[in-house]
Amino acid sequence: MPITEIKSYSRPTTDVAFFAEPSTAGKTAEFIAYKEAATTSGDWVQTYTISEDGLQQIVTNIFQTIDALSAFESAASIQMAAVVRAYTVSTGAPDGPLSTVQSGIDAPFAQTVTYSFPAESNLVPEVANIMVATGSAQNRLTLHNATATLATATYVYTDSADYNMHKFSDSSFIQRFSSELIAAGCVRTIAYAMV
C-alpha cells in the first residue's frame, strides 16, 4: 500500500535555497543515512517541482509501506528540527511546509509519538501537555502515558483524509525547544500502524 505525502514549501526570494533540496546540505547524518538506505531499497521515492516564479516548491514523498513512513518520520529527528529552525531564522522562510496532504491509507491507523529521555527530566510534563492539547488532534487521542523519563501518545485516524484534517503535529513545539530537548538527550520516535 503506497502512501503519498505532498508538501508545499515557500521561500522569500529565489536567492534563498529551499530547505527540502535534493542535496544533503544542512541535513543531519542520521537523516542522510536513512535517505540513502530508503531510496536505494525503493522504500521511499521523492520528487521535487518548483513553481514558475521559483518561490514555491512541491515535494512528493511516496512510501511503499507504513513502516517506511514511520522510519522517515523518526529520522526527521529533534536534531533535524534544530537544523530546520536555524534555516528558517537565517533565511526568513516559513517554518516547515505550508501544507501537507497524505493519501493512500483507506482504513483506520494509529500514530504513536514517543519522547524518551535518558534520565528524569522536567521537560516530560511539558512534552506530555503538548501531546494532549495539540489542536484538533485532541479528538483522535486514544492513549497517553507519561513517566519521569517518557511521554507517549497514540492518535487514531479513520484514513488519510481524517489524518489530513486532525493530525498531531509537534513541529512548532519541537523547533522552539529543540536545543533544550537535545541537551536533555531526548529521542523522538513516530510509529504508524494499521489498527
Q: Is 42 in contact with 119 (CB distance < 8 Å)? A: no
What residues pair up with 157 in beta bridges, in sequence order? 109
Cell numbers for 63: 512510501
> Taking CA 102 as the corner, what is the angle to CA 101 and CA 103, rounded to the nearest 5 degrees?
125
Spatial CA neighbour of 8 closest among 68, 66, 49, 62: 49
Q: What is the C-alpha to C-alpha distance for residues 80 and 4, in angstroms, rounded to an integer?
A: 22
Tell me the per-residue pLDDT of 145-165, one tens digit each, with 9 for 90 and over: 999 999 999 999 999 999 999
What would the pLDDT profile of 68-125 be if each residue is shown by its tens digit?
999 999 988 888 888 888 888 888 888 778 899 999 999 999 999 999 999 999 999 9
Query: Residue 164 in contact with residue 134, Cβ under 8 Å?
Result: no
How many whole angstroms separate alpha carbon 2 and alpha carbon 62?
6
Q: How confident is the model at residue 190 (pLDDT cuts 50, 70, 90)?
A: very high
- pLDDT value, residue 45: 95
Tell me how far apart the alpha carbons of residues 149 and 97 are, in angstroms, rounded to a whole number: 30
**Residue 89 confidence (pLDDT):** 87
**Looking at residue 19, what is its pLDDT?**
81
Task: Calculate mean pLDDT across residues 28-41.
Answer: 90
Residue-level pLDDT at 23: 65
Integer angstrom CA distances of residue 86 from 68, 81, 100, 148, 189: 27, 9, 21, 30, 22
Q: Do residues 162 and 168 touch, judged by C-beta distance below 8 A? A: no
Cα(190)–Cα(126) distance, integer angstroms? 18
Residue 120 CB burial class (10 angstroms; 0-12, 13-18, ≥19): exposed
Give the pLDDT score at 185: 95
Q: What is the pTM of this model?
A: 0.90
Residue 25 has pLDDT above 80, yes or no: no
Beta bridge pairs of residue 47:
60
Find the mean pLDDT for residues 26-53: 91
Q: What is residue 116's predicted lDDT score, i.e. its pLDDT?
A: 96
Percentage of residues of the chain with pLDDT beyond 70: 95
- Give the torsion through C-alpha atoms of 98, 162, 190, 147, to 10 deg: 110
- Dihedral sign for Cα atoms in the order 81, 82, 85, 90: negative
